[in-house]
Structures are given as C-alpha cells and as structure tokens.
Amino acid sequence: MGKRALITGITGQDGAYLSNLLLNKGYEVYGAVRRTSSINTGRLSELGILENINIVTMDLSEITNIQRVIEKIEPDEIYNLAAQSFVQTSFDQPIYTSEIDAIGVSRILEVIRTMGGKSKFYQASTSEMFGKVQDSPQNEKTAFYPRSPYGVSKLYGHWMTVNYREAWNIHACSGILFNHESPLRGIEFVTRKISLGVAEIAKGKKEVISLGNLNAERDWGFAGDYVEAMWLMLQQKSPKDFIIATGETHSVRHFAEKAFSVIDVDIEWDSNDDVELGKCKKSGKALIKVNKEYNRPAETDHLLGDATLAKNEIGWEPKINFNALVEMMVKKDLLRVEQGPVWF
Ligand code: NAP
Ligand code: GDD
C-alpha cells in the first residue's frame, strides 16, 4: 500500500500542486480544509484531482480537531501548508496571524509528539523571515530579521520545528521557500494581480493596474517546482532545513514590464507628477498607476536565495525560469478572461 499524507492548506496554491505530485507518486492523500460557508476547492478541481483526495475538516486554531484527524489517519507524512499567508493582512491581523502561523505549528507538533513522533513533518517556512536582509544572497546560515507579523510568526514556527527535531527526535524539516508563483496563485499577490490585470487590459475589461512598491525585489520561482522540494526533504534519512530558490532576483517593476511584453506592449515609466505611471510606449496610455495605499508599514526590499545546499544534498533544482513563469501566468489568465469568470 502507498504512503498516507496529510496536507494542511490543501485548498491553497501549494496544496493543489503538492496533492497532484503525491497522487502521481501513489500516495493516499488527505486534505485538511477549514470550515467555510462556500466551497473553495476550485484549485483542486482545476487540476482534476478533487475526486482523488480525502477531504477532512480541520482548523489550525483548535488542537482537539488536529488530534482527532491525526489519530484517525495516522499519516506517514504531514505537510503543514496552512497559514494566513498574505503579508499585508498580517499588519492588520497580527494576533490572528500568530495564532495560525505560529501557535498552529506548535499544536501539530505537540500532537505528533504525544502520538509517539511517528509522522514525518514538513513546515512551510519562508524567505520573509529574512526580511531586512543581513546578507545577500541568503542561505541556511543567514541571520533572520523578519519585517512583518507574518514573518515573525513564521520564524516561531521555524524554530519550533527545529526544536521538536532536536528535543524529541521527530523527523521534522523546515523548507525556507522563496516566493513561488503559478496560474493558481491567489489574486491578491503581486504577480497574479499583474498577470490577471494584463489579461483584463488586453481583453478590454480593465483600464489600469494599481500597484504599490515597484522597486521591491523578489526571487520568484514556479510553485510546481517548489512542491517537489517539499517532498524530497521528507524522503531524506535525516531531517534538515533547506533554502529553496532560483538564485535570480527581479523587481516588481520588471515583472510588470515582462508581463506586458507577453501581449506585445512596451512600458515606459513617467514619474514627473506625484504619481508614477507605467505608460504604453506606443499609445501613451497609462496602464500602471502607483498607489501608495499598497505600501507596507515595513517592507522586505530585496530577496535572493542561494539553494546550493538543496542542489547538492537532495538533488533539487528549479526547472521553470522567470520568463517562462511570467508567460505561463499571463497566457493562462488570457484564457480565463476569455472563457469566463475568474473565481480565484
Ligand atoms: P495560500 O494559497 O494562501 O494557501 C493557504 C492555505 O492555508 C489555504 O488552504 C487556507 O485555507 C489555509 N488556511 C488558512 N488559515 C487556516 C486555518 N486557520 N486552518 C486551516 N487552514 C487554514 O498559500 P500558498 O501560497 O499555497 O503557501 C502555502 C504555505 O507556504 C503557506 O504556509 C505560506 O505561508 C507558505 N509560503 C508560501 C510561499 C509562496 O511564495 N507561495 C513562500 C514561502 C512560504 P482557505 O482556502 O480556507 O483560505
Ligand atoms: N500584494 C501586492 N500588491 N504586493 C505589491 C503590490 C500590490 O499591489 N505592489 C507592490 N507590491 C510588492 C510588495 O510590497 C512586496 O514587496 C512584493 O510586491 C511582493 O508582494 P506579495 O506578492 O504580496 O508577496 P510577499 O513577498 O509579500 O509574500 C509572499 O512571499 C513570501 C515568501 O517570501 C507570500 O506568498 C508569503 O506567504 C511568502 O511567505
């Protein structure tokens, strides 16, 4: 019989890609879903895998349901992907974010420990823990300096994972993943906001995309590549933490230029007035407008990851590069805008 995996956050971007990967490897996949008033399994449906997943109800805020679910399933592997994952929201909901992204991790680890530590555990850590970066590129030895309640909460989850490994000998790993995107990315994140905006402009359904800090730099990879790293980490004899990144960084400004180039529009920037604009070179029409409301109270200005250790020790490397990623996202959104409502 195949292995059993429990994935929290299965309705999110990574949950969908990871489920697909594990099903293809013959796993029995259990997906933890929190109770909501409407169905939000659309990503799993889009990949055509919803029917193959055993959906269980579980919220990270409540230890009793975590215990019941883990006792019932007895998973070989637990992937903790559930989180309040939007950095901007974490400034307005810092307590809730800590409750899920920090204490939620302790709840799962504590259940694993009291059950004898049999399930392997993967924690979805993040490059946002580097925040105000102390060194560049960032690797496993770089000091953390989180810049958001989200980053601070995730750092707690990260250290708890390390601590349960060292104190209780649990096979627990923390994957420090840099930003990863895809056509299944939530529309509030900047890459998808841009790809969808470009598609809507191309189809005459939108005039302008409003963005915040255009100069922020991120190391953007493809989510489909990154879930492979999660799985690889749990297949190693000894648990260890790894940086997962492409080793390339690009600004939001560059991402936007690249996305417009997919629909053959060249952007030129005009910062003569108070408001910076990205204009179509040919027509002069404003297509991007900077709106300071999207700026964060504290920003992570620059992220660039060094995934050499993952390459050498677990044989992981990204397959999709920056240009291919942008093109994939814009082309998928062009189809969606053409064919019908975009639900996520
Ligand atoms: P995502 O699309 O926002 O998905 C987050 C998932 O967590 C959703 O399934 C959500 O359920 C679930 N969730 C939120 N609160 C919950 C709660 N209280 N109880 C149970 N489930 C809850 O995020 P993602 O991009 O797939 O990222 C997956 C994980 O990796 C997250 O932990 C994120 O912080 C981390 N991460 C992401 C990146 C990245 O660039 N994508 C990089 C580093 C780390 P609903 O559908 O009900 O909202
Ligand atoms: N969301 C958003 N919307 N971001 C904008 C906008 C905008 O209109 N304009 C500029 N940005 C800038 C943000 O200020 C930030 O510097 C950058 O674009 C990326 O923002 P997001 O796409 O929201 O991602 P993030 O880097 O804050 O967080 C994502 O990556 C982390 C890993 O580093 C999330 O997926 C986190 O969950 C993840 O841990």
pLDDT in tens, 64-120: 999 999 999 999 999 999 999 999 999 999 999 999 999 999 999 999 999 998 999
Question: What is the distance between the alpha carbons of residues 221 and 229, in angstroms, rounded to a whole number?
Answer: 12
Taking the C-alpha atoms of residue 266 and residue 260, their distance in angstroms, rounded to an integer, is 7
**pLDDT tens digits, 125-160:** 999 999 999 999 999 999 999 999 999 999 999 999
pTM of the model: 0.98
> Does the beta carbon of 68 sit less than 6 angstroms from any atom of ligand 1?
no
Q: Find the DSSP H helices in 28-101.
A: 42-46, 63-73, 87-92, 94-98
User: Residue 19 corresponds to which amino acid?
Assistant: S
Mean pLDDT over each residue of the chain, to the nearest integer: 97
- Decide if 128 is catalytic: yes
34 lines ligand 1 (CB under 6 A): yes
344 pLDDT tier (thresholds 50, 70, 90): low
Q: Which residues line ligand 2 (CB under 6 A)?
A: 85, 87-88, 126-128, 178-179, 188-190, 193, 211-213, 216, 218, 252, 294, 296, 299-300, 303
- Strands 120-126 vs 77-80: parallel, antiparallel or unpaired: parallel
Per the structure block, which two tokens stand in for 209?
A: 């995309």
Q: Which ligand is nearest to the CA of 81?
A: 1
308 noted as active-site residue = no
- pLDDT above 80: residue 162: yes
Of the candidates 27, 30, 79, 150, the residue annotated as catalytic is: 150
Amino acid at site 276:
E
The total of other beta-carbon atoms located within 10 Å of residue 305's CB is 27
Catalytic residue among 28, 77, 128, 228: 128
Q: Whose CA is nearest to atom 17 of ligand 2?
A: 216
> Is 79 labeled as catalytic in the residue annotation?
no
Q: Find the helix packing angle between 190-202 and 322-339, rounded to 10°.
A: 50
Nearest to 185 by CA among 35, 290, 24, 330: 330
Q: The tokens 């970066």 sit on which residue?
A: 133
Q: Give the nearest ligand 1 atom to 13 CA.
A: 26
- For residue 143, the CA-to-ligand 1 centroid distance in Å is 24
Q: What is the pLDDT of residues 38-74, one digit of tens each?
A: 989 999 999 999 999 999 999 999 999 999 999 999 9
Q: Which ligand is nearest to the CA of 89?
A: 2
Give the distance (Å) from ligand 1 centre to CA of residue 311.
25
Q: What is the best residue among 89, 179, 192, 253 to mutate for testing ligand 2's pocket, by most ligand atoms within 8 Å of CB? A: 179
Residues β-bridged to residue 32: 8, 56
- Which ligand is closest to the CA of 192, given by its number? 2
